[in-house]
Amino acid sequence: MKMSNIPFGTTDWSQIERTEHFGETGRAYWRTQKFGDIRVRMVEYTPGYRADHWCEKGHILLCLEGEMVTELADGRVFTLKPGTSYQVADHAEPHRSYTKTGALLFIVD
């Protein structure tokens, strides 16, 4: 990822429009900013959310609240709690996530 032509700025995430995305179960609410090819999101997963697909997009993801479980297509499972993160490259390892309790994430991709 190369970051260029992005002037200094701040984001009040409460002022960014929230969009709704349905999972296999539950919902995700995204607040999204774009900076060139870089997408930055604050994502809230409702309790019981489960992704409806295996994702192959690369991300850097930080759990801010709640708990989220990410499973990889090879069977490995990782649990994120507040203050923990993961990173994965594009097309490196298909992954999908779910949460029993709900979660708030900060994601850069």
Residue 30 lies in a domain: yes
pLDDT average per 10 residues of sequence, the chain (109 residues): 84 97 98 94 98 94 98 97 96 96 97
Residue 82 lies in a domain: yes
Task: List the one residue out of 43, 20, 57 whose CA is nearest residue 107.
Answer: 43
Range of the domain at 33: 18-108
- Specify the number of domains making up the chain: 1
pLDDT of residue 24: 97
Q: Taking the alpha carbons of 100, 53, 93, 3 in that order, is the dihedral positive or negative?
A: negative
Residues forming beta bridges with residue 69, ordered by sequence position: 79, 98
pLDDT of residue 4: 81
pTM of the model: 0.91
Residue 41, domain CATH: 2.60.120.10
pLDDT of residue 1: 66
Residue 13 lies in a domain: no
Residue 104 lies in a domain: yes
Length of the chain: 109
Residue 10 lies in a domain: no
Task: List the one residue out of 73, 64, 17 whose CA is nearest residue 45.
Answer: 64
Residue 83 lies in a domain: yes
Task: List the one residue out of 94, 11, 96, 10 whose CA is nearest residue 45.
Answer: 96
